[in-house]
Structure 1
Amino acid sequence: MPILFPRPSTIFDPPTTLDHFLSSPIKFFTRHVHRLFIFLRAPPALLPHNKPAIRVICISDTHNDTQDIPPGDLLIHAGDLTNNGTVLELQAQIDWLKSLPHMHKVVICGNHDSFFDPASRLEEDAAKTLSWGEIQYLENSSVALTFPSHGNRRLVIYGAPQIPRCGGSNFAFQYQRDEDRWTGTIPPETDVLVTHPPPKYHLDLPAGLGCAYLLQEVWRIRPTLHIFGHVHSGHGKEPVFWDEEQRIYERLCVRKDRGVVLDLIDVWGWLDVWKLVCHGVGAVLWTRVWGGDSSGSLMVNAALSYRSTGKLRNPAQVVEI
């Protein structure tokens, strides 16, 4: 007999629709209403006036594999180039990236890229080095890139690899989930932020595998574009608007899963949902009917790996800024 609601195989796979609803109807409703408002609202204005767009190609979580990558001006890889983080694996991925025709290329590492963290580096790789060519590797650092064919436009890109602990003793740059490794670390002039983990609850799973402290820091910086990976099932794009609707959404996501009965009688929880709806409707009317400003940012989960299959089945994400 077929299984109508197959269970996720790992914590990195999304729950079934039924499981999500039964664990918390309030959070289930919150997630879908928020997505509806994102769809209905005018998208954030990412392009400067009278300037040619810079085409950014976003990829992540290639795990030793390769696939066809669209052309563009800037290629960004948000980590997990490899499975085991050996120099041999890393150099093969770097050589593939070097062969691509993009004008600028930026890379950070992920938790699987063990070589970059001295605490997780394999002993046999201790004295080895990597050949990057013209690729910019960022590790809690920034680079300012100029695009001569785009009116000498300049983008400041900041990259950081640290990630909430997710297993493996040989994983790179892990920290305890309740440890703040982000506050005050990102330069305010950052245009494009590249991290390996997502900010919590954005292109993340309902369980919240992303980082809450990273989310707080992104609220402070509000970069034009934030690229990440790690949670393969979160692949896609999400506009963010840094307003009260988003604050309420994130507050509701933090709630504990209490089941159907306790959620249905939670008056204060449903009051928050009503506030979410009111602010969302107001934002849609403001941008779509009254022509108000639609300022915001774009988040991109660029994981090419499809869920936990180990196969690159997700397409590269293309953004114009």
Structure 2
Amino acid sequence: MVLDSLPWRRKTDAAPPDPFEPAPFLRLAFQAPVKLILYHAYHTITSLRSAPTPLKHPIRIVCISDTRGHIVDDVPDGDILIHAGDMTIGGSVPELQAQVDWLCSLPHKEIIVISGNHDTYLDPRTRPSLRDDQRAGAVDWKRVHYLQHRRLSLSIEVEPPSADGEETHLLGRETKSRRVRIYGAPQIPARGDMNVHAFQYLRGRDAWSETVPEDTDILVTHTPPKYHMDLSLPSGMGCEHLAAEVKRVKPTLHVFGHVHWGAGQEVVWWEGCHDAYEKGMRVQPRWFRGLLSPRLWWNAFRVVYRGLRELIWDKVWGGQGPNTIMVNAAQMHGSIGRLGSPIQVVDI
């Protein structure tokens, strides 16, 4: 008798969980209990802090990503519309052109677009994977600013917000021209076939250091930075080298997508609480799932201690340190294949 044919030998190898799907809370509590405490302590404390104060003449940024060939209904008005990649499913020229035509029909003053890993045609390395009819011709970008490792400086005419609800374009209201510097880059840690999915690099490789101009106001990438809106537990699907680059530059706004379940906004305060959070999340516990890791417990303590100090400084004395508003603008609701996440709007 062949042992492999016995019933008790069948289905012993379960498929590994998809890292782009959220892990159940109970599994996280069993696998990484200290990191779970650290993660929720950090996000609870930082959520209590005051929101960054926009300038007197704010610029309204409307953020979307991962539309995958769909047309988004009821896009809010704003000064700048940003699409952070994955405009299409297959990445063909007709798909891309359809998305560009839709974006150009929207009333926003400026439209910024980068590529995502599904936008195959835009990466010369993956373009040959398309059929001849899918890559015939070229994309007419019209008034869309397509950024591929490129910096753009825009001058935006803005008006102060109305205190009483009146229309802000009424005669006599003060207007001001504000210059905003935007940098866009599409590369992501590998996810899928490197010959089909665009702009990928091997996970762990540094594709970011010293690439973003220091005076960048708005950074647009397709991948999230590691440990921020990227399904951070148990391991995080963002890029650690991008996270270090964002910390170096400290843009006012960072827009991305790619990890659909991470959709939303958060403010990162570049202070001691955040430093302890990232150091703790990087710890790889070896024994008893981190319960006996002094480094992990120490950083969890520092998150609470430094976070409470910074919260008191904010609430009592009104102090606000350097910060970046991070926006995961993915429109796809998880992996269900249809839109569902809200459009993100930020005033800076």
Pairwise TM-score range, normalised by the shorter structure: over 0.9
TM alignment of 1:230-309, pairs within 5 A: 230-256=258-284, 261-309=288-336
Aligned: 1:165 with 2:173: no
TM alignment of 1:82-231, pairs within 5 A: 82-121=88-127, 122-124=130-132, 125-150=134-159, 151-168=176-193, 169-205=195-231, 206=233, 207-231=235-259
Cα distance, 1:268 vs structure 2 = 3.5
Partner AA of 2:31 in structure 1: S
In the alignment, what sits opposite 1:17? 25
Determine the C-alpha separation between the residues in 2 that align with 1:61 and 1:113: 10
The 1:8/1:318 distance shift into structure 2, 3 A limit, reads farther
Determine the C-alpha separation between the residues in 1 that align with 2:49 and 2:16: 32
Determine the C-alpha separation between the residues in 2 that align with 1:262 and 1:316: 37
Partner AA of 1:97 in structure 2: L
The 1:8/1:300 distance shift into structure 2, 3 A limit, reads farther
Unmatched runs of 5 consecutive residues or more in structure 2 = 1-14, 160-175
How far does the alpha carbon of each residue in 1:88-121 deviate from its partner, in whole angstroms, 9 at most, with x for none?
1111111111111111000000000000111101
How far does the alpha carbon of each residue in 1:141-183 deviate from its partner, in whole angstroms, 9 at most, with x for none?
0111111244110111100001110112300010011211100
More divergent stretch after superposition (299-308 vs 143-152): 143-152
Determine the C-alpha separation between the residues in 2 that align with 1:210 and 1:295: 22
Determine the C-alpha separation between the residues in 2 that align with 1:15 and 1:32: 15
SS in 2 for 1:148: strand
How far does the alpha carbon of each residue in 1:46-89 deviate from its partner, in whole angstroms, 9 at most, with x for none?
x23xx321111000000011122111111000000001100011
Unmatched runs of 5 consecutive residues or more in structure 1 = 1-6
Determine the C-alpha separation between the residues in 1 that align with 2:218 and 2:158: 19
In the alignment, what sits opposite 1:44? 52
Q: TM-score, normalised by structure 1?
A: 0.93
Q: CA RMSD in A?
A: 1.7
- How high is the sequence identity, in percent, across the aligned residues? 44
Whether the 8 Å CA contact 2:283–2:295 is kept in 1: the answer is: no
In the alignment, what sits opposite 1:74? 80
Determine the C-alpha separation between the residues in 1 that align with 2:243 and 2:101: 33
Larger Rg: 2
**Count of aligned pairs between the two proteins:** 311
Cα distance, 1:274 vs structure 2 = 0.9
Determine the C-alpha separation between the residues in 1 that align with 2:101 and 2:18: 32
Cα distance, 1:255 vs structure 2 = 2.3
In the alignment, what sits opposite 1:4? none
Cα distance, 1:9 vs structure 2 = 6.9
